[in-house]
Structure 1
Amino acid sequence: MAETDAMLGFVGLGLMGLPMARRLLAAGCPLTVWNRSPKNAEAARADGARVAASATEVANATNIVFTCVTNTAAMEAVVFGPNGIAEANGEGKLLVDNSSIHPDATRAFAERLARINGMSWLDAPVSGGVAGAEAGTLAVLAGGRQADFDRVAPYLTHISQHATLMGGLGAGQTAKLCNQMIVGCTFVVIAEALRLAGNSGVDPRALIDAMSGGFADSRPLQIFGPRMLGRIDEPLGHVDVVLKDLDTSLDVGRGAMSPMPMTATASEIYRLLVVDGAGGAEFDAIYRLFGGEA
């Protein structure tokens, strides 16, 4: 690994991106950042980051650029839009995309970026939520060349508990979709079970504790169950983000002729919430959908 690889950039400092950038800064990695809204960039500056005027400037000043944005359209904008990463000198440089976007888009974007400025691409979406980003315990699901994965691996140790190369370009995004299918469907089942308990005269709060250590126990149950019941008010994710991932999963599933009845049902429940104006809500909105207030 070249010594100059210590020159890192980060584009996209939202709920996940900012704590990930802070982990890199805390590990002593010099970091140049840019964010579409300046507020979070200033928060990173307070932790020692250099704030650039554009994504182009980030890519010109660094050798490895991490990105973490909301969706496929946002990724296309920060890479190929005005003052985007594609306008920089990309020879010998690597883009590491921690966003969750369509696998087909990943492959198309990677080919397009390499053609424009010679920059390599590694898709590396993450799982573990805001808490995992803050603690550096995320799981990284990567897709791309082994050499690119090996190049970035030392830095992934600062933001993740483990990182796995799943295959070629797009394989990381496909693996993340599988993760989101499990998570998105699980949230719905947790809400159903807690609502059934309450409607049947069983304390749903006691149910969560009683299940601890049993076969039905899970991190989602212990983390999100109390939030659904109103015990904890702390942002950890949004309904519309999960819907985006479930819809992408269904699109990939159709192309692969892969039956996905549970994911299809869950996606429609999330869509009901979005149509009802709860797209930006936390996952306790599912519980309320099944029977009023917590």
Structure 2
Amino acid sequence: MKIGFCGLGRMGAPMVGRLLQAGHEVHVWNRSPGPLRAAREAGARVCATPRELGEQCAWVALCLFDAAVVRDVVFGKDGLARASALTLLIDHSSIPPRETRGFSDRLAAAHGAVWLDAPVSGGTGGAQAGTLAVMVGGPADACARAAPVLMAYASRVTHMGPVGCGQVTKLCNQTIVTTTVAAIAESVALAQDAGVDAARLQEALAGGWADSPLLRIFMPRMTQAPGSVQASLDTMLKDLDTVAALAQVQGTAMPVAAATGQRYRLASRQGLGAQDAAQLIQLYRQTDASADRAACDAQAPPES
């Protein structure tokens, strides 16, 4: 079928590639021109504005950074909401549930189009392999209609309830992911400080209760030279801040997530925000700790 796609970042670009491979006619828009050239070469049709894209496609998917960008792309001067052809908007962005519900109500009142919040999990590797998990909020019948198209880049599409429920599910996902990554970093540091080869932890823990896809992905990244960025620390921090905001509104006690958020915030303040989430390990490097202690010792007054 014909489908539009806005946002060709780390996740969006391979998702568009999967749609093209599945035989769909894909129209794309992106704020920066760089990714558009590759998409055009792969067979996508480039649109000048979101509104133009929405005039061409009844179904449009978004994969954008935050709620402010989603608002601008949908409701801005040349936004999707001004397009007459749009009937279904599928938002793969990770944004707050409350804003999602507000956007959905606004789009329905002004345009009549249906909003599905459909954040994804699985990283860039999952997008490239077509194995993403998609968690959907919105009308069940709309989810059922969209699922066959989403399966171009997903291995699972799960309807979680009304609009906003997909975003809540993604926040649960991110709570588990971010806290687990932090625990892996602390485990690597514990092993290294004890003189144990942390690179062998993955092998030693395989098949046990600590084994998981996250362990298999992040342990090598933390014990080897840094590779390409799959998901940045600042992106994880954004989601943790959204988790904290929702928990505060609901009165949900989340002490582990709150403490984890401070670790990611510290990493961001130390200039690591744009790096891969695996570089959280830098907070625990023994050389850095030794340098900090040496600096403190140098500033301390001499003993009497």
Tell me the TM-score normalised to structure 1 length: 0.95
Indicate conservation of the 8 Å contact 1:67/1:99, yes or no: yes
From the superposition, tell whether residues 215 and 115 of structure 1 become closer, same or farther in structure 2 (CA, over 3 Å). same
Paired residues, number: 288
Indicate conservation of the 8 Å contact 2:4/2:27, yes or no: yes
Tell me the percent identity. 44
Name whichever of 223-232 and 254-263 sits farther off: 223-232
Tell me whether 1:31 sits opposite 2:13 in the alignment.
no
Which 4+ runs in 1 deviate beyond 3 A? none
Tell me whether 1:234 sits opposite 2:262 in the alignment.
no
Q: Which residue of 2 aligns with 1:247?
A: 241
- The CA deviation at 1:52 is 0.4
For structure 1, the 5+ residue unaligned runs are 1-5
Tell me whether 1:117 sits opposite 2:111 in the alignment.
yes
**2:132 alignment partner, one of 106, 131, 138:** 138
CA distance in 2, matches of 1:76, 1:46: 29
* Cα distance per residue 1:177-220 (max 9 Å; x no partner): 00000000001000000110010011000112111111111111
Name whichever of 265-274 and 81-90 sits farther off: 81-90
Q: Which residue of 2 aligns with 1:48?
A: 43
What does 1:198-209 correspond to in 2, within 5 Å? 198-209=192-203
What does 1:1-294 correspond to in 2, within 5 Å? 6-90=1-85, 93-231=87-225, 233-292=227-286
Tell me the TM-score normalised to structure 2 length: 0.92
Indicate conservation of the 8 Å contact 1:11/1:65, yes or no: yes
* Cα distance per residue 1:225-246 (max 9 Å; x no partner): 1111124612211000001101
For structure 2, the 5+ residue unaligned runs are 289-304
Q: Which residue of 2 aligns with 1:3?
A: none
From the superposition, tell whether residues 238 and 90 of structure 1 become closer, same or farther in structure 2 (CA, over 3 Å). same
* Cα distance per residue 1:139-181 (max 9 Å; x no partner): 0000000111011111011110000000000000000000000
Name whichever of 223-232 and 204-213 sits farther off: 223-232
CA distance in 1, matches of 2:252, 2:265: 21
* Cα distance per residue 1:246-286 (max 9 Å; x no partner): 11011111122211000000001101111122111112321
